[in-house]
């Protein structure tokens, strides 16, 4: 996998990795249900934004979740050399020593719990975690907005719940 060097590249990766997959699943559902073009487009937009939010939230979990609950090692993305949105956003305002530390973490095949905790502190202090959360929240809001073409009903409520859950999940 290509390691994104910046936010634009990161967004392209998650767009192609997760968002398009969920978008397609939602669009196929509309096609199978013989929905009109407007509703098909609405479900497509819902799925795309749900996928973007889901992946951003998943990236946040890599830094914030309890590894026993998450079911994978802390910093799994970093161990694979992947830059995620929290890291990319934090790098914008990091000082030279923080940038060097982050670069070393990304290149390291292994790192200590203490180094990982230091990284999370930098991501928090430099706004990387908050920025990624805001971006995920924006996509959840866009996913729910796409559902306005549907009358209020139990199914729409469920889709809105799924969008909220994508951001609020623990694992």
pLDDT in tens, 24-51: 999 999 999 999 999 999 999 999 999 9
DSSP 23-67: HHHHHHHHHHTT--HHHHHHHHHHHHHHHHHHHHHHHHHHHHS-H
Top-confidence residue, 81 or 60? 60
**Where residue 67 falls among pLDDT bands split at 50, 70, 90?**
low
Domain ranges for the chain: 7-168
Fold of 7-168: Farnesyl Diphosphate Synthase (1.10.600)
Question: Are 104 and 17 in contact, with CB atoms under 8 Å apart?
Answer: no
Residue partners of 3: CB distance under 8 A and separation at least 6: 81, 82, 83, 106
Residue percentage of the chain with pLDDT more than 70: 92
Instruction: Note the pLDDT of residue 71.
Output: 61
């Amino acid at each position: 996998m290509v390691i994104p060097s910046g936010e634009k590249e990161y967004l392209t990766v998650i767009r192609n990795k997760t968002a398009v997959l969920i978008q397609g699943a939602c669009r196929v559902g509309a096609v199978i249900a013989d929905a009109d073009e407007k509703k098909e487009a609405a479900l497509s937009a819902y799925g795309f934004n749900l996928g973007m939010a889901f992946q951003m939230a998943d990236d946040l979990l890599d830094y914030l979740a309890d590894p026993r609950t998450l079911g994978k090692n802390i910093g799994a993305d970093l161990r694979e050399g992947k830059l995620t949105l929290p890291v990319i956003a934090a790098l914008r305002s990091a000082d030279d020593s923080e940038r060097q530390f982050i670069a070393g973490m990304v290149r390291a095949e292994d790192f200590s719990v203490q180094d990982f905790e230091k990284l999370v502190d930098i991501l928090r202090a430099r706004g990387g975690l908050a920025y990624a959360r805001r971006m995920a929240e924006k996509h959840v809001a866009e996913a729910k907005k796409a559902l306005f073409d549907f009358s209020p009903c139990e199914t729409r409520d469920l889709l809105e719940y799924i969008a909220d859950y994508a951001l609020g999940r623990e694992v």
